[in-house]
A and B are shown apart, each in its own frame.
Chain A
């Protein structure tokens, strides 16, 4: 069984940087598949943020490209999301997902709620 588990702070101050990690168990992130982040909020619905491939290539949502970075650590079998200069609009539940190729998402973590507030 493959499991994805998000971790990171639940509260981030405006203008600061959000950093989340997704630990993957049961599958090597360098083997195959892509790995991504999706967030959900009442105002924006489900929103794909970015994806990192098994080879380390990255793909970002164009509107967030200046603020988002995705990294992967194959030795720890996890990947991470870095979102800078956050505002209240970045509040939401963040899910890490397994991605078949920047097109569909067959496995999801349980999600982690991030609130941006001072």
Chain B
């Protein structure tokens, strides 16, 4: 049972923008800006796509962006493409158990 809550699935058509939310609490997302996002394709290891809420690692498309409001962080994928179909996980540093992950959101490109 994840401490960070994500919707099970989000879908969109090619070219559209979608947003995935990740809701935590005052001991994790609300307290720290150490939130990261990962993309996982079937059978592959997760890939690091956002860190410190809003920053993109080198080589990650600028179609991926992050934001935060209170205890909720969000990942937005703009200009949705077929290759964006994957499961996305948020992660936050916490004051209790160190890093925790959300349960994952499956993105479907219609």
Contacts and interface: CB of A to CB of B under 8 A. Distances in A.
Q: Chain B's interface: helix, strand, loop or mixed, by majority?
A: loop
Interface string B44-69: 11111001100001000000000000
Interface of A: 45-48, 51, 59, 61-63, 95, 100, 102-111
12 contacts: A45-B103, A45-B104, A46-B89, A46-B104, A59-B98, A102-B98, A103-B36, A104-B48, A104-B91, A105-B38, A106-B48, A109-B45
A46 B96 contact: no
B99 to A, nearest CB: 4
For the complex of A and B, 7 pairs with smallest distance between CB atoms:
A104-B36, A46-B101, A108-B45, A103-B34, A48-B99, A103-B93, A106-B48
Contacts of B48: 104-108
Contacts of B2: 45
